[in-house]
Amino acid sequence: MLSCKEASMLLSQSLDQKLPLRKTISLKFHLMICYMCRRIAGQIGFIRQALPTFAQMEEEVDRPSDIRLSSEAKARIVSALTPP
């Protein structure tokens, strides 16, 4: 009988590779009886589906973020771009 910890690890792994049959069966069995891990399964699946759109928007639209180039880095890059 898998614990939730083991089940969620397998769940994550199953997004990246095909699990061996025995593990797939244990995971399915766990999901049948555990509503919490069923939620986790739905939610990490939802995140995966959202990511391609996110990636596309990242390339096209500015969003508010705390991560920015420092003003030193900006100055350095500007001067690298400017011929002496």
Footprint of another protein on this chain (CB under 8 A)?
Answer: 3-6, 8-9, 12-13, 15-17, 36, 39-40, 42-44, 46-48, 50-55, 57-60, 62-69, 73-74, 76-78, 80-82
**C-alpha of 18 from chain center:** 18
Between CA 74 and CA 13 the distance in angstroms is 40
Nearer to another protein, 28 or 76 (CB): 76
Residue among 22 and 70 whose Cβ is closer to another protein = 70
**8 A C-beta contact, residue 4 and residue 37:** yes
Q: 26 near 2, Cβ under 8 Å?
A: yes
CA–CA distances in Å: residue 34 to residues 18, 31, 39, 80: 22, 5, 9, 58
Question: Residue 25 CB, nearest distance to another protein (Å)?
Answer: 19
Nearer to another protein, 12 or 24 (CB): 12
Shortest reach from residue 26's CB to another protein, in Å: 13
